[in-house]
């Protein structure tokens, strides 16, 4: 079985060969088996040396000093530590926070946690492209504001924020700025001094490093310290205790070193791929670009599609590894909160596709992906209830019956159309805007009712049909829409007879 074309690099990147090699050496080397905190013997000191080298490599990618970098398990932990830790440490100065409605869940949930503890929060709404200007941040600042958290690159749309301008505003008012740079570290140039960033989070597996490791930059002069969330042996300046994983630290350091060296060609590569794919999709009617077309990181293209249902769209894209939203929420039926904030309807948010590109992506991948996407959209639209039914020529003396229920806005819309002759259904067609399970059920209904009469239509039990087909009970409402459409067919039948 061939693997799908991988176009989900915003969710996770493959580990670079150089990183694997460096980590393998660390795991196999007897000289690096010691605890890097065990400074009383040579083995521990040697492990500490390589960890500090890795810390310097991470710092070098973002223009920081090595002693300002704290190793974490990833950007999510770094976000939590930065936001909750900084707010708690500066609580005496104020209990007001500013962030955006389109932040990553790790930021949003950290801020919500503080709100439950009594902090006040100003939630900024971006423009239609997802941008928040420095003026909007300035207007939200209060005398008691202690922290602003604005991500550098949005993980769903690829929109770049003006963190430098926002940082200047925060610096002038003595407010700390935290930046989630999970999508920008290694993809865009970052200098924490030039951008006036006080705290910055990044993650290894977003930049061709291993999963399970990330880092938090803490400006030594402006922040000095944050309150720890964990307690233990005092590692990482007492801010993130626990035995450091030497091989994970080495892997992150090597990934950051490579990312710094390859930043320009990597960005040129993925931007070219993004532009190529968009040039192939933009002329498809009803394909809408999500995000700011001018201020965008090169590795993400997010589109919504009018006239198709999202779950069926993604089922049709099974040959592609793409996302319907943020990786942490894409397994749910919840429409993207980011796209909803940007003004997309729930239907369009559900029919969004996030393509993201990386070093291994090729032009051939883009060409194939575009072909699969266009064919899938065309196939789903040809089955749309918005179009006239494609019925064969009616038999002599046949009567047309039609029944409709649901709507595209509701997520399920079903139309049955058919010819009735001599008290029986001679031909039946189903047009469906809905999930694959709804489509499956409608196909079975058409098969079961062919040649049947009123009794077969009125006696069909959609829940029993769903159970036979293995459709989850959670989708019972969609099955009932099928039943409503059939009842409307009967009503049409009765009115015409």
Question: Which is higher by pLDDT, 433 or 325?
Answer: 433
Contacts for 99 with CB less than 8 Å, ≥ 6 apart: 107, 108, 111, 121, 122, 123, 124, 148, 149, 150
Decide if pLDDT at 329 tops 70.
Answer: no
Give the range of the structural domain holding residue 411, as residue numbers without chain letter: 399-496
Contacts for 239 with CB less than 8 Å, ≥ 6 apart: 70, 81, 85, 218, 225, 226, 228
- Asked if 22 and 104 sit in the same domain, the reply is yes
What is d(CA 248, CA 246) in angstroms, rounded to the nearest whole number? 6
**Relative orientation angle of helices 246-281 and 363-382, to the nearest 10 degrees:** 60
- Asked if 429 and 363 sit in the same domain, the reply is no
- Which is nearest to 199 in space by CA: 226, 179, 214, 228? 179
410 inside domain: yes
Across the chain, what does the average pLDDT equal? 94
103 inside domain: yes
Domain CATH for 86: 3.40.640.10
* Spatial contact of 401 and 417, defined as CB atoms under 8 Å apart: yes
Q: What integer pLDDT is reported at residue 445 of this predicted model?
A: 94
- Asked if 219 and 133 sit in the same domain, the reply is yes
Taking residue 419's Cβ as centre, other Cβ atoms within 10 Å add up to 20
- Asked if 442 and 365 sit in the same domain, the reply is no
Determine what percent of the chain is predicted with pLDDT higher than 70: 98
4 inside domain: no
What pTM was estimated for this model as a whole?
Answer: 0.93
What is d(CA 262, CA 272) in angstroms, rounded to the nearest whole number? 15
What is d(CA 66, CA 215) in angstroms, rounded to the nearest whole number? 11
Q: What integer pLDDT is reported at residue 327 of this predicted model?
A: 41
Boundary-marking domain end, from 238, 260, 282: 260
391 inside domain: no
Boundary-marking domain end, from 260, 286, 316: 260
pLDDT tens, 141-153? 999 999 999 999 9
Question: Which is higher by pLDDT, 236 or 223?
Answer: 223
* Spatial contact of 277 and 369, defined as CB atoms under 8 Å apart: yes
pLDDT tens, 70-99? 999 999 999 999 999 999 999 999 999 999
Q: For 125-138, b where at least 16 C-beta lie within 10 A, e where not — what string?
A: ebeebbbbbbebbb
Angle formed at CA 440 by CA 439 and CA 446, multiple of 5 degrees? 90
Number of domains observed in the structure of the chain = 3
pLDDT tens, 109-142? 999 999 999 999 999 999 999 999 999 999 999 9
pLDDT tens, 334-346? 789 999 999 999 9
What is d(CA 155, CA 336) in angstroms, rounded to the nearest whole number? 11
Q: What integer pLDDT is reported at residue 224 of this predicted model?
A: 82
- Asked if 252 and 206 sit in the same domain, the reply is yes
Taking residue 397's Cβ as centre, other Cβ atoms within 10 Å add up to 9
pLDDT tens, 271-315? 999 999 999 999 999 999 999 999 999 999 999 999 999 999 999
What is d(CA 115, CA 97) in angstroms, rounded to the nearest whole number? 9
* Spatial contact of 294 and 386, defined as CB atoms under 8 Å apart: no
10 inside domain: no
Res. 333 pLDDT band, cuts 50 70 90: low
* Spatial contact of 22 and 251, defined as CB atoms under 8 Å apart: yes
- Asked if 239 and 284 sit in the same domain, the reply is no
- Asked if 212 and 279 sit in the same domain, the reply is no
pLDDT tens, 14-48? 999 999 999 999 999 988 998 888 888 988 899 99
* Spatial contact of 462 and 444, defined as CB atoms under 8 Å apart: no
- Asked if 276 and 252 sit in the same domain, the reply is no
- CA 345 to each of CA 330, 336, 425: distance values in angstroms, whole numbers, following the listed order: 17, 10, 38
- Asked if 229 and 336 sit in the same domain, the reply is no
With residue 49 as reference, give the H or E element that holds it: helix 42-62
284 inside domain: yes
5 inside domain: no
Helices (H) and strands (E) in the chain, counts: 15, 15
Boundary-marking domain end, from 232, 260, 288: 260
pLDDT tens, 381-410? 999 999 999 899 988 889 999 999 999 999
- Backbone φ and ψ for 419, nearest 5 degrees, come out as -100, 135
Local structure of 67: helix, strand or coil: helix
- Asked if 114 and 221 sit in the same domain, the reply is yes
What is d(CA 210, CA 203) in angstroms, rounded to the nearest whole number? 9
Domain CATH for 370: 3.90.1150.10
* Residues carrying an active site annotation: 328
- Asked if 137 and 214 sit in the same domain, the reply is yes
- Asked if 117 and 82 sit in the same domain, the reply is yes
171 inside domain: yes
């Amino acid at each position: 079985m061939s693997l799908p074309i991988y176009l989900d690099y915003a969710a996770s990147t493959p580990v670079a060969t150089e990183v694997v090699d460096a980590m393998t050496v660390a795991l196999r080397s007897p000289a690096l088996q010691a605890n890097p905190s065990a400074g009383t013997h040579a083995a521990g000191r040697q492990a500490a040396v390589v960890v500090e080298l890795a810390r310097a490599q991470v710092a070098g990618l973002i223009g920081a000093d090595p002693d300002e970098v704290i190793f974490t398990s990833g950007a999510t932990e770094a976000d939590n530590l930065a936001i909750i830790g900084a707010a708690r440490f500066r609580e005496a100065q104020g209990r007001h926070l500013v962030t955006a409605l389109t932040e990553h869940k790790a930021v949003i949930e950290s801020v919500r946690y503080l709100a439950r503890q009594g902090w006040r929060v100003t939630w900024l709404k971006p423009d239609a492209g997802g941008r928040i200007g420095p003026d909007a941040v300035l207007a939200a600042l209060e005398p008691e504001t202690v922290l602003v958290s604005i991500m550098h690159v949005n993980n769903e749309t690829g929109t770049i924020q003006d963190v430098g301008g926002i940082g200047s505003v925060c610096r002038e008012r003595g407010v700390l700025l935290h930046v989630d740079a999970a999508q920008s570290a290694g993809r865009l140039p970052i200098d924490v001094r030039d951008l006036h960033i006080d705290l910055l989070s990044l993650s290894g597996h977003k930049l061709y490093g291993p999963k399970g490791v990330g880092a938090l930059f803490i400006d030594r002069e402006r922040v000095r310290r944050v309150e720890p969330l964990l307690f233990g042996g005092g590692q990482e300046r007492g801010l993130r205790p626990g035995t450091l994983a030497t091989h994970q630290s080495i892997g992150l350091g090597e990934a950051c070193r490579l990312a710094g060296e390859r930043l320009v060609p990597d960005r040129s590569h993925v931007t070219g791929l993004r532009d190529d794919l968009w040039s192939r999709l933009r002329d498809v009617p009803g394909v809408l670009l999500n995000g700011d077309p001018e201020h965008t990181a090169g590795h993400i293209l997010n589109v919504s599609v009018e006239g198709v249902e999202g779950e069926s769209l993604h089922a049709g894209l099974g040959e592609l590894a793409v996302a319907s939203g943020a990786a942490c929420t894409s397994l749910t039926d919840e429409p993207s909160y980011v796209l909803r904030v940007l003004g997309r309807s729930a239907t369009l948010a559900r029919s969004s596709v996030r393509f993201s590109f990386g070093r291994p992506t090729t032009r051939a991948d883009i060409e194939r992906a575009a072909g699969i996407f266009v064919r899938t959209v065309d196939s789903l639209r040809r089955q749309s209830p918005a179009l006239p039914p494609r019925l064969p020529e009616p038999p002599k003396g046949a009567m047309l019956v039609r029944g409709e229920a649901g709507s595209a806005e509701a997520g399920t819309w079903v139309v049955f159309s058919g010819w009735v002759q001599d008290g029986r259904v001679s031909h039946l067609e189903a047009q469906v805007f809905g999930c694959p399970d709804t489509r499956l059920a409608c196909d079975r209904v058409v098969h079961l009712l062919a040649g049947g009469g009123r009794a077969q239509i009125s006696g069909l039990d959609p829940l029993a049909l769903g159970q036979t087909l293995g459709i989850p009970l959670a989708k019972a409402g969609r099955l009932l829409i099928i039943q409503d459409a059939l009842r409307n067919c009967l009503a049409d039948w009765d009115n015409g007879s």
